Structure 1
């Protein structure tokens, strides 16, 4: 972190566990380009499956094993780029029983085939490696392994890698644009411990060498950074919501507390099913897994470390008290199953598609349980954590996220678009259609803008442009002219236009404001006008 914020702002900045790469800048390195850009060595093949077979040795903080990478060749492929952090040692890379040559550059691995693979070929390689992966100093805000022990002295291990990269611990095509259609994890851990990974539990096997292998399988597309291991002396209990299996893995001394606290999951699912559509990974089930760090949205195995408290570690990020009515990590990280896990941005620069929508799910849940008024108050409250100092969208092709405003400025943007629609039935139908249309897909900001713009007669393209690509808020300028109140927008976007609702003499009136002065006939004075700031996040000023 290279920015100073208040405590609550820091929480907000990091609330999903993502490592923020930084604000937009120009001092990118070749390593950034190798990681963030798409070139033939990456685009000429499509990953179909990862099969991790690893041994984890807690005392040595050491992992070893392989990843079988299955793929389809899209264009002739003489050289393939995969990614693995340079501190991890490569043992060998095998293709059709032969050892392949490779070169390493920063964290990229360029693998040379004896003959270029032909278009349409379905193939695989076995990538053997070992090493001591990066240790996170403050997970989940920096990427790496967490090697710790529970209160009973048992090893308790977790990993968080969003932003830093899944390639810090296993070889893969470390770019969000390509997700494997399925994944298998066979993880060997010391006897007496359990590994919990994504998807369905396949079985356990005593290897006879002091280690037990725990096997899991995912049958849906999954982000690289979501493939996960969680190792501990876990207790398991389960429940169901409709046809969805709910599984929970917690430390033994928290079992009874967890059974009571996790009851909120059913309320959350009921709300999200209604407002956003069915859980997108029913085949893989839903899990909460207790972790030694705060939390992360690991697909079908959500990391939970909020200490069984309401709010965010007992704090309310909105400052309204409303955020203390529910467990922040359960709601936010589970909301990512719809936004971030099911719908994924192709480039990390568009991460607001993950974080803005997921932050809005906090308000959705609030509205389901306690009403729209509380949801609007919550959304207004979290504005205190918005900096408005740099753009939400980052720089493309260099593995750079935009600003932390992607969270709560993104959420307020969505709430404002709902207000512009001025039709709640249309809004919820559009949101459900969005999650259904782009289910299990990687998309761009342009895809999102087009979808929500086409759902309404109002042109909201300038709204997206101002809030996503510029740091400042638009300002509604107001002035008095006899019996008229005149108004216009001052904004970065040329010819900016956006409807805005104001209240005059207790009556709500819509100004279809543009960058040109317009007039509203009224007998009221300008100081009687108030912007509906629960639904519109703007600046306003009185000018001469």
Structure 2
């Protein structure tokens, strides 16, 4: 393949990995966007407690059928409830008690009328019966949908990837990141000879006597809607432990020996992540890698793996340094999401950088654990080649809008810059561990993240977060010579921008506490002897005459 063409494809893939296009960075929002992205009384009046999916999957028909039992707590008197299910899926009935409920469909939203208003403080449930042929992904995981594939032996091999597009593509739910069920059970019937692997623990396997086997899995921790998952194939299973954590692997039967050798990296990863970020946040549900017919996704406790047992990103290094070829990108990146995205979840999809920026930073964390800080810094600098700096990385709130793909590696470079501002690695790692502990199993906002990292240091990080998250351009350190002085200041979108930055003059590292006003540094050196520590600070520089 032409090298330039391959690079363009790689960049496109990176900018969309785990960030499926849902209408980011535009203003032509529709009623469907608002219904999906906003919180109104029909959604705010209840809190989901549990989903219990009971489904039959028929590969030959590319269809699913069954129900979802949705248990919830009523937070305010509720005459009408909004759930979500793509309009191409057929509703059979919605049962409350023993009665059929009346409903109205508007785009992908379903408005359900209760015969009698449900009272605040009560708990209740409905069972939502449906069937249909869910949307097929054209290029999973970069677009949402089912993948109906076959392994090399001709066996059905089925997966789903719906982040951004929405879990309501294939099952009815409250499709907003602010509300996660406290637990979920998936009873999935598939043709005999195949296995379904879902999130959490396998609780039963039952031959239904009709050519189908039901595989039942249960999650006992809060879980994002888009993480609830099915994986169907001719799977072989093996397992091991990291301390008390169960590590389970489900791979195509003919890849078993290859997987046993390749997945040894998981223990090294866990040792690193436990040390730097704190314990795995879903120990009760265990950790799994599940081989899938698409590249990968962070499905909670059942991480999708499709990197073909290669190092790097399908055998390529996204940083261009060679360092990314030392480890399997999908294992490290998607597992990092267990901490950031799955345990700590952005309340609105506009704040998805909380998932992607932190998780992309875990790639550098793992590199540092294995090969040292200098290589980690080289990797972080290298991945800047994938950043466009053309649009902001926070999306628009309330309309199901992600920010730009820069949320990945601009986000991780922002975190590396903040670490450098801290200038205290012990403080940095303590803060990161405290962050994952404080917000474990919570949905949060960008403001929560900003406040948390700001409180840990005496440097005011507010202008730094504002510039990197809410504007597309990098701050520019302007420099000019004035006799035996070097003058410096920031040019940025944020008014009165200020941020310390480290520069090197005559092999000595010096910290400039730069602001938007000119300041001076007396030195006998010429300006061309000065360089910014660009391994630790992601900025631009401009030499003025």
Return the TM-score normalized by structure 1.
Answer: 0.99
Structure 2 counterpart of 1:162: 163
**Kept after mapping to 2: 8 A contact 1:22/1:402:** no
Aligned pairs for 1:41-56 (under 5 A) are 41-56=42-57
1:319 to 2:320 alignment: yes
1:11 paired to 2:20: no
Counterpart in the other structure of 1:71: 72
2:33 maps to 1:32? yes
Q: Is 1:234 the counterpart of 2:238 in the alignment?
A: no
Residue by residue over 1:244-291, the C-alpha shift from the partner in whole angstroms, topping out at 9 and shown as x without a partner, is 000000011100000000000000000000000000000000000000
Quote how far apart the aligned CAs of 1:21 are.
2.4
Match of 1:110 in 2: 111
Per-residue CA deviation, residues 33-62 of structure 1 (Å, 9 max, x unaligned), is 000000000000000000000000000001
Q: Tell me how far apart the structure 2 counterparts of residues 22 and 82 of structure 1 sit (CA, whole Å).
A: 21
Secondary structure at the counterpart of residue 480 of structure 1: strand
Q: Report the equivalent of 1:419.
A: 420
2:338 alignment partner in structure 1: 337
Aligned equivalents of 2:204, 2:195: Cα separation in 1:
11
Q: Which residue of 1 aligns with 2:512?
A: 511
Whether the 8 Å CA contact 1:184–1:215 is kept in 2: the answer is yes
Counterparts of 2:297 and 2:460, CA distance in 1: 36
Shift, 1:22, TM fit: 4.3
Partner of 1:201: 202
Per the alignment, residue 95 of structure 1 pairs with 96
Matched-pair contact (CA < 8 Å) for 2:23–2:401? yes
Aligned to 1:523, the other structure's residue is in SS state coil
Distance 1:22 1:528, change over 3 A: farther
Pairing of 1:223-372 with structure 2 (within 5 A): 223-372=224-373
Runs of 4+ in 1 over 6 A off after TM superposition: none
Question: SS in structure 2 opposite 1:500?
Answer: strand
How far did residue 138 of structure 1 move? Answer: 0.5
Is the CA contact 1:51–1:185 (under 8 Å) kept in the aligned structure 2? yes
| Equivalenced residues, count | 540
TM-aligned CA deviation for residue 308 of structure 1: 0.1
Counterpart of 1:534 in structure 2 is 535
Report matched runs for 1:454-533 at 5 Å: 454-533=455-534
CA distance in 2, matches of 1:353, 1:409: 12
Name the counterpart of 2:189: 188
Secondary structure of the equivalent of 2:60? Answer: helix
Indicate whether 1:60 and 2:66 are aligned: no
Whether the aligned pair in 2 keeps the contact of 1:102 and 1:112 (CA below 8 Å) is yes
1:437 to 2:443 alignment: no
Question: Structure 2: how far apart are the matches of 1:171 and 1:269?
Answer: 34
Q: How far does residue 7 in structure 1 lie from its aligned partner after superposition?
A: 2.7
Cα distance in 2 for partners of 1:452, 1:467 equals: 15
Q: Show structure 2 runs of 5+ residues with no match.
A: 1-5
**Residue 395 of structure 1: SS of its match in structure 2?**
coil
Distance, in Å, in 2 between the alignment partners of 1:220 and 1:87 is: 31
Cα contact 2:19–2:163 (8 A) shared by 1:
yes
Deviations 1:329-364 (Å, cap 9, x if unpaired)? 000000000000000000000000000000000000
What does residue 3 of structure 2 align with?
none
State the partner residue of 1:407: 408
Give the Cα separation in 2 of the matches to 1:154 and 1:243: 35
Give 1:166 shift.
Answer: 0.2
SS at structure 2 position matched to 1:450: helix
Q: Residues 543 and 23 (structure 1 numbering): CA distance in 2 closer, same or farther, change over 3 Å?
A: farther
> Is contact 1:20-1:404 (8 Å) kept?
no
Task: Name the SS for the 1:278 alignment partner.
Answer: coil
SS at match of 1:221: coil
**Does structure 2 retain, via aligned residues, the 8 Å contact 1:310–1:326?**
yes
> What CA distance in whole angstroms lies between the structure 2 residues aligned with 1:220 and 1:80?
24
Q: Secondary structure at the match of 2:429?
A: helix
Q: Is the 8 A contact 2:23 2:400 kept in 1?
A: no
Distance 1:14 1:23 in 2: 11
| Matches of 1:93 and 1:14, distance apart in 2 | 36
Contact 1:311/1:325 (8 A) holds in 2: yes
Q: Distance in 1 between matches of 2:14 and 2:188?
A: 33
Give how far 1:486 is off.
Answer: 0.5
Deviation at 1:513, TM superposition (A): 0.1
Contact 1:22 1:403 in 2 (8 A): no
Asked whether the 8 Å contact 2:19–2:405 carries over to 1, the reply is no
Tell me, what secondary structure is at the counterpart of 1:270?
Answer: helix
In structure 2, how many angstroms separate the alpha carbons of the residues matched to 1:7 and 1:318?
15
The separation in 2 between residues aligned to 1:232 and 1:150, in whole angstroms, is 8
Q: Conserved in 2, the CA contact under 8 Å of 1:297 and 1:333?
A: yes
Task: Name the Cα RMSD after superposition.
Answer: 0.8
> Matched residues in 2 for 1:229 and 1:504: separation?
57
Q: Which residue matches 1:215?
A: 216
CA contact (8 A) 2:11 2:386 kept: yes
Tell me the distance in 2 between the aligned counterparts of 1:176 and 1:376: 33
1:5: how far off? 7.6
**C-alpha separation between the residues in 1 aligned to 2:117 and 2:520?**
68
- Quote the offset at 1:6 in angstroms: 1.8
1:172 partner SS: coil
Between the aligned partners of 2:537 and 2:456, the Cα distance in structure 1 is 19
The normalised TM-score by structure 2 is: 0.98
Aligned counterpart, 1:21 = 22
Matched-pair contact (CA < 8 Å) for 1:23–1:390: no
In the alignment, the residues of structure 2 paired with residue 195 and residue 22 of structure 1 have an alpha-carbon distance, to the nearest angstrom, of: 32
Distance 2:475 2:21 in 1: 26
Distance 2:265 2:21 in 1: 29
